[in-house]
Structure 1
Amino acid sequence: MRFSMATRPGFGRDHNPLRRRSDRIQAYSGLAAVVLVIVVLPVALFAGWRTWQHFSVISDQELATRQLVTATVAAGDPQTRIARNHLATVTWTYPDQVAHSGHLAVPGSTLPGDLVPVWVDEAGEMTTAPMTRLNVWLDAIGIGVGLMLAALAVGGLGYQGTRSVLNRHRARELDEEWRRLNGFSMNA
């Protein structure tokens, strides 16, 4: 079965007097949007995979160098109450049996002498919690999905913008043609 140019609206160089140049431009604009999304798909997959690789290495390093220790709340500062938390001075010993201290946001009900978990680095200094595998996966998926959404947005907005400009152009041409048919001149 052969397909004629008439079955593919907007594409080809047929001699249909009803198919305008603007129709072809709109069709090619839609095709360009689809091609953009198709081209970006492997790029998004690759970027997500590389993000996963990169953050997996960081996560492994952080998990190997950070420890969760138990710290004792030495004193709380109710003046620093933030929502339901407040800053408290906490103390802990790790790994060289040297006492360390720092400030940590603890629940408002925490009293001096209570035990709280604290992440520390190899030197025993307070640090952030290590990146988890869930964080690694969420970042990788976020990069890939974000790139795809950006491609969809660019393609869709490009197509809609082109279509809008062409519709205004077609409306202007139609008005001009009606005026000519009714004996009015646009330049008079």
Structure 2
Amino acid sequence: MYRRIKGTGGNPLRREADRTRTRMHAAFALTCLLAVIAGAALGRAAWTDGRRAAEDTARHRHTVTATTVGGTTYRAGDRPSGPPFTVATATWSYPAHRTHTAPVRVPAATRSGDTIRVWVDDDGRAADAPPDQAHIALNAAAAGAGALTGIVLVGGALVTVRLRIVDARSARAWASEWAGIEPLWSGRPRPGPGAGDD
């Protein structure tokens, strides 16, 4: 009673397996905290790098007015799962003395002779638009969430494996101890040589 009041000594019913389980749960909680910090840091870094790259790309992208010179056709998406999109051959001048003709993405209702806005690079070739803020934010969120998820899954798997090992050892220890205690507790004779002999 004195030890309980003073807080000295440990709980005699608390085994090493119980202490290990507590440590593993604490380690998993710490892993989750570190995962949040790492995910936030990686997401922020991806946001910063994405914005810097977008600004650099935007310095070398220009919009020009182009005129379509042919009908529209469908083209397969950039990715296997991407939807098809509409393209039409168009012509434009950029720089002012250079004329370019190439297929570009256009709205589905575009007809020959319509004017459209086209993104081009410094040489006047058709190019992708610089990434917008939403695209950068989505990439940053995906990077942060991926890091967080990966760390939590790996930490959770390691803790789960360790807890299963602890549980297996604890079950074997309980079975061994029970084998020695149960005959005394139940009054049943212990198995062995001479047990049950009359």
The answer to whether residue 14 in structure 2 is matched with residue 19 in structure 1 is: yes
Determine which of 24, 44, 68 is the counterpart of 2:63.
Answer: 68
Q: Are the equivalent residues in 2 in contact too, given 1:93–1:124 (CA < 8 A)?
A: yes
Matched residue, 2:42: 47
Matched residue, 2:195: none
Q: In the aligned structure 1, how far is the partner of 2:56 from the partner of 2:25? A: 46
Q: Which amino acid letter does the alignment assign opposite residue 130 of structure 2?
A: P
Q: Which amino acid letter does the alignment assign opposite residue 99 of structure 2?
A: A
Q: Which amino acid letter does the alignment assign opposite residue 63 of structure 1?
A: A
Q: CA deviation at 1:121?
A: 0.8
Q: Are the equivalent residues in 2 in contact too, given 1:92–1:101 (CA < 8 A)?
A: yes
The answer to whether residue 139 in structure 2 is matched with residue 139 in structure 1 is: yes
Q: Which amino acid letter does the alignment assign opposite residue 119 of structure 1?
A: W
Query: Against the structure 1 CA distance between its residues 52 and 81, is the aligned structure 2 distance closer, same or farther, given a 3 Å change threshold?
Result: closer
Q: What is the RMSD computed on CA atoms of the aligned residues?
A: 3.1
CA-to-partner distance for each residue in 1:123-173, whole Å, 9 max, x for gaps? 111111101122233333333333223232223333223223322333333
Q: Are the equivalent residues in 1 in contact too, given 2:67–2:114 (CA < 8 A)?
A: yes
Matched residue, 1:157: 157
Query: Against the structure 1 CA distance between its residues 100 and 153, is the aligned structure 2 distance closer, same or farther, given a 3 Å change threshold?
Result: same
Give the gaps of 5 or more residues in structure 1.
6-12
- Give 3-state SS (helix, strand or coil) of 1:48's partner: helix
Moved over 4 A (4+): 77-84
Q: CA deviation at 1:120?
A: 0.5
Query: Against the structure 1 CA distance between its residues 71 and 30, is the aligned structure 2 distance closer, same or farther, given a 3 Å change threshold?
Result: same
Matched residue, 1:102: 102
Q: CA deviation at 1:3?
A: 8.5
The higher radius of gyration belongs to 2
- Give 3-state SS (helix, strand or coil) of 2:129's partner: coil
Q: CA deviation at 1:77?
A: 6.0
Q: In the aligned structure 2, how far is the partner of 1:77 from the partner of 1:23? A: 70
Query: Against the structure 1 CA distance between its residues 80 and 141, is the aligned structure 2 distance closer, same or farther, given a 3 Å change threshold?
Result: closer
How high is the TM-score relative to the length of structure 1?
0.73
Q: Are the equivalent residues in 2 in contact too, given 1:59–1:131 (CA < 8 A)?
A: yes
Number of positions where the alignment pairs a residue of Structure 1 with one of Structure 2 = 176
Query: Against the structure 1 CA distance between its residues 137 and 4, is the aligned structure 2 distance closer, same or farther, given a 3 Å change threshold?
Result: farther
Matched residue, 2:170: 170
Q: Which amino acid letter does the alignment assign opposite residue 34 of structure 2?
A: V
Q: Which amino acid letter does the alignment assign opposite residue 37 of structure 1?
A: C
Question: How do 1:169-188 and structure 2 match up within 5 A?
Answer: 169-180=169-180, 181-182=182-183, 183=190
Q: In the aligned structure 2, how far is the partner of 1:145 from the partner of 1:165? A: 30
Give the gaps of 5 or more residues in structure 2.
78-82, 184-189, 193-198
